[in-house]
Amino acid sequence: MSQPATTNQEHTTYATLRQWITVGKFLPGERLKIRDVAADLGIGVMPVRAALQRLAAEGALSYSPNRGVAVPKLTRAEFDDVLQNRLLLEGEAAERGALRASDADRSALQALLSEMEAALKAGDAKGYLDANEDFHVRLYQAAGSPTLMDLIETVWLKVGPLSNQLFEDPQASHVLNDAHVDLVRALETRNGAAARRAIERDLFVAGQFLRQRCEA
């Protein structure tokens, strides 16, 4: 009877660590020590080791005999490649989402837009990033394509560790929400093409700040 519980814990641990990477809890180049991660989660080392190995196999983490498991650092060329794929995938999801979004979706996205605006004014980077993630997830889920959402979340693993460095440039807070305003307007008229353009602009603008944090 113990095997299903162990399997379930490994799955939960994997999902938690995957989410942590996506939202930037770990920084590029950071070494992840199994015992430290296990202590943070309040569990044993075995499910953590299995989850880290799985994430390394997926390319979300790197492994070397000398350093163990670490968060990869992206070169600018690698970042550009990831960004191009994000433009394709998230642009498609935004266009579909604009056409399929319910009244509840539009209301939720408007509320999240207000949260992001308030966070920017307060200088609350974490508040902004949390609301921003919820905004994009809600929009893309409205597209009604689990496969597309899975692909987007896989790509997010590549750039998640960079996300907390977005506000290291003080100019970022002045422009980050402009595209979200345009997107909410596009949703009001169910203008899929305008929603795609808004998301592409959002990703490109944020990308210019994040790209500077990559290795030349």
User: Cα–Cα distance between 196 and 203 in angstroms, integer?
Assistant: 11
Least confident of 58-62, 128-132, 172-176, 192-196: 172-176
What is the percent of the chain where pLDDT is above 90? 81
- Would the pLDDT of 155 be above 60? yes
Confidence of residue 216 (pLDDT cuts 50, 70, 90): confident
Label residue 165 by pLDDT band (50, 70, 90): confident
CA distance linking residue 37 with residue 92, whole number of Å: 36
Contact present, 93 and 146 (Cβ < 8 Å):
no
Q: Is the pLDDT of residue 118 over 90?
A: yes
Give the pLDDT score at 5.
47
The answer for residues whose C-beta is within 8 angstroms of residue 5's C-beta and 6 or more apart is none
| Residues 45-50, mean pLDDT to the nearest whole number | 94
Residue 70 near residue 62 (C-beta atoms within 8 A): yes
Domain map of the chain by residue range? 2-70, 76-211
- Tell me: pLDDT of 4 over 50: no
Over residues 67-82, mean pLDDT = 93
- Number of Cβ within a 10 Å radius of residue 75: 12
What is the structure's pLDDT at 6?
A: 52
Q: Is the pLDDT of residue 67 over 80?
A: no
Q: Which CATH architecture has domain 76-211?
A: Up-down Bundle (1.20)
Q: Please, what sign has the CA dihedral across residues 161, 163, 164, 168?
A: positive
Confidence (pLDDT) at 169:
82
Q: How far is CA 14 from the centre of its chain?
A: 16
Cβ–Cβ under 8 Å, residues 97 and 142 = yes
pLDDT band at 76 (very low <50, low <70, confident <90, very high): very high
CATH topology of domain 2-70: Arc Repressor Mutant, subunit A (1.10.10)
pLDDT at residue 166, rounded to an integer: 86
- Would you say 48 and 41 are in contact if contact means Cβ atoms under 8 Å apart? yes
Q: Flag whether pLDDT at 32 surpasses 50.
A: yes
Is the pLDDT score of 210 beyond 50? yes
171 has a pLDDT exceeding 90? no
Q: Quote the pLDDT of residue 37.
A: 95
At residue 2 the predicted structure's pLDDT band, cuts being 50, 70 and 90, is very low
Structure tokens at 72: 């990869």
Q: How far apart are CA 192 and CA 179, in angstroms?
A: 14
pLDDT > 50? residue 145: yes
Q: How far apart are the first and last CA of the chain?
A: 52
User: 90 with 152: CB under 8 angstroms?
Assistant: yes
Entry pTM: 0.89
